[in-house]
A and B are shown apart, each in its own frame.
Chain A
Amino acid sequence: MMSDKKKMSAGAEELHESLQPGSFKYIWRHLSHDSGAVVGMLCIAAILIICVLSPYIFKYDYSKISMIDKNALPSKEHWFGCDELGRDIMVRVFYGARYTLSIGVLSTAISASVGVALGSIAGYFGGRFDSILMRALDILQAFPQLVLATLVSAVLGPGLDKCIIALAISGIPGFARMMRANILNVRGQEYIEAAKSIDCSTARIITKHVIPNAISPIIVSVCMGIASSGLNASALSFLGLGVQPPEPEWGAMLSSARNLIRQYPHMAIFPGLFIMITVISLNLIGDSLRDALDPKLKD
């Protein structure tokens, strides 16, 4: 009887330990129980899979011009129709996902890591570095993000890599500011003082107490950031500054469809639809991730 009870409680404890908030398993369990996040993840996964497999499943090439199919409406043959050069839009949309998504992921990764590092230093140590950095960011933030990205890529010139750099630079101020604010907030909490009083080293305080409590909004906004910088990448291409034709970036496709939007709306609808699906999916995942990372919402 006694040992049974013991075993049970030990089992319960194990379960508890493996499901600590912050652990990967826990986050996964939370995400997989949230219908919004599941829909988001399924959509993103589907796009990724099709985009990787696209050379094998589609019988058309993304750059193959076919004058017969010029401006063709959606049909059995071409599900999404064809563009003004007779290229299959479905193939181009899935092939283009590589560009849009990789621009989103890479530029966000760069701006988040640079921003977090700068913001952490500024927030924890304060002083002159903090004031200089903040003024510099003020200048960068005086421009709307898209305008800044446009400016940078106008200087650097068109192209995939330059587009990524432009978007990364324009994303840094947001992350740096957010991290700094989080750090300032956490730094003032009594548990940081408590850690000091039990003889924690500064390095340990930063890594064990400050950063874990300051980072979760960043993780979430990285998710949202991928969506928005994908969107900005589309906008840059739309302006002719991002990925160059004939590469089928979604924004570039929208851009070339805009002249024919009255007669052949399908050329704009499909790339637009996929931009929308991707952005919504990433936002759903980001939302759910935020809840999963907050131990206060543990059920």
Chain B
Amino acid sequence: MSTLIEVKNLKKYFRSPRGTVHAVDNVSFNIEEGKTLGLVGESGCGKSTLGRTIIHLLDPTDGQIFYRGEDVTHPDKAKLSELRHEMQIIFQDPYSSLNPRKTLKETIEEPLILSGKFTAPGALEAESTRIMDLVGIEKRLRMSYPHELDGGRRQRVGIARALALNPKLVVCDEPVSALDVSIQAQILNLLMDLQDEYKLTYLFVTHNLSVVRHISHNIVVMYLGQIVEMCPTDELFEHQYHPYSKALLSAVPTVDIHNQKERIIMKGEITSPIDPKPECRFAQRCPYACERCLHEIPLREIRPGHFVACDRCEEINGLE
């Protein structure tokens, strides 16, 4: 398995009237080709910004992005155009991610027209029909406008547009969180089928841990712009070592009424990532915080393949 995308010490800062927002701060990870990396965190933790920075919808402030081993942090125009064909994004809100004045056909055909590959008579039509088939949109809907469709179908159109250029990496930014449960399952299954068929690599950004468990191979947990824990999916659901991951997992409501787990209720709320102090960003809410937490905490490998950013990790979890 080869590494498709690698991110090294990536930073994305925004200026705001109140100071510099450290939306993504020193993040490193990689994704193997054909795998799914789940990026989990609460609102404002920088997960969407990270996803958009990787596919160059935003320019990174610092750090490096490698695509198939090649440094693509600051691509020139030609390279960027090439990358756009390799990396795509599916948005959260199927209501605002489709141009309300374009029919489905126009939306799906636009990337094909721009690619300039489908100039033969009928080729465009054939290709767009193929893609609509692929994502399960009935052909009779091609002249419909987004507002005439339900959320699930709209999200299928978003997926169709993303897949039209045959990308290798797809950033899925909360693709199912606006959908009802029964429709959500349809879309998740579709995404998994497409991955199998086209060896797609997903960066799956979400706040929903149940969905992430279902779809990802590896998981990154983010808190205020930094990675706090990173490991294979099953490993995380068996042992969470970071106090934040523990609290996050325990907070997810479960339908098993006989096994309601003990919730770890955290103090306070997520603080803002504006000019953060050089200390563990979770310390203010952490039940285990002490003076040792008041400096930068690097991510370290606790067990093979399991990285945690906590100084007191061994103590808390009784590890040696």
Contact = CB atoms under 8 A, between A and B. Distances in A.
A22 B110 CA distance: 19
A190 B110 contact: no
Given A17-B143, A196-B57, A190 B97 contact: yes
Contacts of B92: 190
Interface of A: 9, 13, 16-17, 20-22, 189-191, 193-200, 204, 209, 212-213, 295-296, 298
A198 B99 CA distance: 13
Interface in B44-73: 52, 55, 57
A84 to B, nearest CB: 55
B152 interface: no
A199 B81 contact: yes
Interchain residue pairs A-B with the least CB separation, the first 4: A198-B111, A190-B97, A199-B84, A191-B99
B103 interface: yes
Contacts of B101: 21-22, 212-213, 295
A22 B101 CA distance: 8
B117 interface: no
Contacts of B111: 198-199
A62 B137 CA distance: 66
A194 B97 contact: yes
Candidate in A20, A193, A212 with the most chain B CB atoms within 10 angstroms: A193
Given A189-B96, A204-B114, 9 more contacts: A17-B143, A194-B89, A194-B98, A197-B87, A197-B162, A198-B84, A198-B88, A295-B100, A298-B145
A194 B88 CA distance: 9
Nearest to B98: A191
A197 B147 contact: no
A295 to B, nearest CB: 5
15 contacts: A17-B143, A21-B101, A190-B97, A191-B98, A193-B57, A194-B98, A197-B88, A198-B84, A198-B161, A199-B115, A200-B114, A213-B100, A295-B145, A295-B147, A298-B145
B165 interface: yes
Contacts of B52: 193
A198 B56 CA distance: 11
